[in-house]
Chain A
């Protein structure tokens, strides 16, 4: 796995990106943020990410589609869904489409950092075991 985790944050409310970016950077991760799903999907098509953090309900686009597309394009990426409409149904649906974890808005910075750290630990373990499915992905060399 790469030395630094690469994270993509997608939320149509800029405040969420603004808060998450420095928090992730400070924790030592590389971060990109977008506020529309078209840009996000374009970035996902262009560059590998270890973690994709995305909102579910956004104006003009269904976050579930993003989850689904991400899962298809970059199956190694772990998807964390953040949403204010925390219902069991949407959560279930997002897991079915490939989400890895679910954090209800509003959340504490510490909660989402813990979530990403868990993913990091798992990916590292997977990489050590040489388990290709454990998240090492195609980026092991970098």
Chain B
């Protein structure tokens, strides 16, 4: 008889409280565990696709979502059978999320909460749907690149939809487009109809009230009368298409004219020119949505435009071009005034190549009652340069960090105010006529170049960087990191987030592309290669290199062609529709909001993502099985008992046959009564290793990284006592679900005399500290498992280790080791302060565990080390 049918037979004798055979319940329980794992893997795979390494299409996204839908639905169904409840709330949560995903895939947008107005400082990453491309970028500039932008608020796309839908205007536009005869005349008539409709329609009262409230708040912080600039920020604007000059901007607007100005900007969506522009670029009518930014008017002393890359007339050298004039910038953009022109080098210290100072007789200034007007420039300023060298350098630095972030040359509108502060008003892709890079024979340039490193390590963020090597270790003063350097370091560290704005690229000896530094590099789009093993040995401080983090090669010297190619690549993958879609979908899939099972909101109703549902069900499934077994005590079989001795594991043992030797009336059991072979070895390992440390380690929540990941409130962070832990055992089998302190351990094992039947599956996941430490701990666990010959996969902070078909003694040795490992790792993440500590902890653990496993000749702690790289698993393999 095979082990499975044998187990089924034994389990079937045990019946649940309401008559369902235990075999069925346990089967459901195991199916929940397996599905749980599959869902986590799928989510991790989808996250991997955002790194740029993968080519994926819409079909992949649809398929992956369908698979997730299917697994989550069946997960809830299994839970319903296990708990013998209908779980209406869970199914409702599932339907809600599934509906949102389907709407998103269908191109219909769902706005949770539907905020109508949003202060600029609250614009987070991925806010493009809510506030449009241009404002999302401005939010990025101030929140990520720390460039100064004018304060203000956004009237969101949700406001646009509310206004347009209530007045039947969206339907009018869509119908109009359907019926359009294709002629210019027809488009003009439609355009007039739409614009009139917008001007005549009332703004919803609630929206007016919220706009007024925002305007009041802005006015409070100012001494002078409040004046605003209203700028368009539509979907797709400043993405692949620049829409430069297509939509209206209203300047110097007094508070009582904001609503009128808002309508003017909205109406410009339906101007003939804008409509034609969209039609030419294949935008669909359903993709039209406009947010409007209301910015404080800067008191401009000098303003203008910066092109970060232009071909210098005459020779083929690239330079930055600054056009500047006194007063407001509208005159420069509109070409209505003479400007000073500066050509600057594109590398620090941004030397001035050419300086042409114009005669500037007049300037644009705000008129007292709104709008802008001309005035004469004082005679002594008319022929003076309107920018100092220091201001030019500051401007150049800002421009280059914008270009690097957007991976293409930028057209930047800027102003220096009366106090000499630089404000970036907007930045959009610079559309150069010649796609110079594509004609560049990149191959020739790279084939001549000396390769220092090739194919070593893993690409964390694609891109090209040219600059000087800056070797960095934990003692380096990061404040002194030079602008434009390429950071080279032994370890990855989230500390480097501080210099990412100044670094062109990052190369490290160790680290994983799923680690936290890599995440930040992706956020800031800094080209990064990790785990090269040898970078710090081969690269010398100060030498100039070219890092090609698309092909994963480091060349000696500067290969300008490569840099230029990258900048002019026709499509930046982050801006593709599929990439945006996947990112939007993952927002409804991956974030974990239900982190603390003891919290009041650990409820089905609070599930906002598939991850939440999965997490909730896992917790409840374990609880249900324990409950069932305890209620069953009232019946005669009484096979469920608390483990009384050893470390305080809070472990309930359900004996489904031959796993314990207790008298029927005994309510508890001690380790000595456990005869389940795997469980006994596990418990022995846990006890004998002495690695159970009951002193809780305080979690350092003040660390700055917590702001980058989900934040945990103090109440969630307290190291909880162990959960309700469960072991289901037979003589040769065990299934253990154990939540200890900060993480989950799941072990499923069969150990007997038939080598071919033997296996151990170990899963380790979760944790309450920030992602960095959790993933460090995951790496620690993975390395230990590999040393004991487990086949290991790491997905973020989920570690899966599998081993099978070893002899009983070898399996038992590993089971004892797992006992020690579970004890050791219990609160480790709270201590993982640096990446260096991963290796230290592996060493410490291997030494400490040696006395527990030393009885066997196959003791991996006695092997000579080396060659234990942790592999990161990817999908589809």
Contacts and interface: CB of A to CB of B under 8 A. Distances in A.
A26 B442 contact: yes
A64 interface: no
Given A26-B565, A28-B443, A104-B876, A19 B55 contact: yes
A16 B876 contact: no
A110 B53 contact: yes
Contacts of B180: none
B55 A84 contact: no
Given A26-B550, A26-B551, A106 B54 contact: yes
Interface string B550-576: 111000000000000100011101001
A109 interface: yes
B436 to A, nearest CB: 14
Contacts of A106: 49, 54-57, 60, 875-876
Interface string B850-877: 0000000000000000000000000110
B551 A107 contact: no
Given A15-B576, A84-B60, A109 B443 contact: no
Given A22-B569, A23-B550, A106-B49, A112 B55 contact: yes
A19 B578 CA distance: 11
A13 interface: yes
| Chain A CB within 10 A, most for which of B552, B569, B570 | B569
Contact of A16 (B49, B55, B442, B552): B55
8 contacts: A13-B59, A23-B550, A27-B551, A84-B59, A105-B56, A105-B59, A106-B49, A106-B55
A110 B55 CA distance: 10
Given A105-B59, A106-B55, A19 B550 contact: no
A53 B808 CA distance: 51
A87 B49 CA distance: 21
Interface in A22-44: 22-23, 25-28
A14 to B, nearest CB: 9
A109 B573 CA distance: 12
Interface in B431-445: 438, 442-443
A104 B56 CA distance: 10
Nearest to B552: A110
B419 interface: no
Contacts of A107: 54-55
A107 B53 CA distance: 8
A68 B552 CA distance: 36
B446 to A, nearest CB: 9
Nearest to A55: B57
Contacts of A15: 55-58, 576-578
Overall SS of chain A's interface? helix
B435 to A, nearest CB: 11
| Chain A CB within 10 A, most for which of B59, B550, B552 | B59
B200 interface: no
A18 interface: yes
Contact of B55 (A25, A27, A28, A105): A105
A101 B56 CA distance: 18
Interface string A72-92: 000000000000100000000
Interface in A103-122: 104-110, 112
Nearest to A104: B876
A22 B571 contact: yes
B400 to A, nearest CB: 22
A67 interface: no
Contact of A28 (B442, B571, B573, B576): B442
A105 B60 contact: yes
B576 A13 contact: no
Contacts of A109: 53-55, 550
A19 B573 contact: yes
Q: Which 10 A-B pairs have the closest CB atoms?
A: A28-B443, A106-B56, A13-B57, A18-B571, A19-B55, A15-B578, A22-B569, A84-B59, A106-B60, A106-B54
B299 to A, nearest CB: 44
A134 to B, nearest CB: 23
B63 interface: yes
Interface of A: 11, 13, 15-16, 18-23, 25-28, 84, 104-110, 112
Given A105-B60, A107-B55, 8 more contacts: A15-B578, A18-B570, A22-B570, A26-B550, A28-B442, A106-B875, A109-B55, A110-B53
B438 A25 contact: yes
A88 to B, nearest CB: 15
Interface string B386-425: 0000000000000000000000000000000000000000
Contacts of A20: 55
B649 to A, nearest CB: 42
Nearest to B576: A15
Contact of A84 (B57, B443, B569, B875): B57
A13 B61 CA distance: 12
B625 to A, nearest CB: 37
A19 B438 CA distance: 14
A121 B560 CA distance: 28
B769 to A, nearest CB: 31
A62 to B, nearest CB: 16
A73 to B, nearest CB: 27
A108 B54 contact: yes
A54 to B, nearest CB: 14
A104 B268 CA distance: 45
A50 B44 CA distance: 37
Contacts of B60: 84, 105-106
A118 B63 CA distance: 30
Interface in B455-471: none
Nearest to A21: B570
Contacts of B576: 15, 18-19
A124 to B, nearest CB: 15
A23 B438 CA distance: 11
A19 B60 CA distance: 15
A20 B57 CA distance: 12
B515 to A, nearest CB: 19
Contacts of B569: 22
Contacts of A26: 442-443, 550-551, 565
Contacts of A110: 53, 552
A16 to B, nearest CB: 6
A11 B60 CA distance: 14
Contacts of A22: 565, 569-571
Contacts of B59: 13, 84, 105
A16 B63 CA distance: 16
B851 to A, nearest CB: 44
A104 to B, nearest CB: 6
Interface in B57-103: 57-60, 63
Nearest to B51: A108
Contacts of A25: 438, 442
B63 A84 contact: yes
A49 to B, nearest CB: 19
A24 to B, nearest CB: 11
Contacts of A16: 55, 57
B544 to A, nearest CB: 21
B207 to A, nearest CB: 36
Nearest to B60: A106
Contacts of B570: 18, 21-22
Nearest to B876: A104
A110 B551 CA distance: 8
Nearest to B53: A108
Nearest to B568: A22
A62 B63 CA distance: 20
B829 to A, nearest CB: 30
Nearest to A28: B443
A57 to B, nearest CB: 8
Contacts of B438: 25
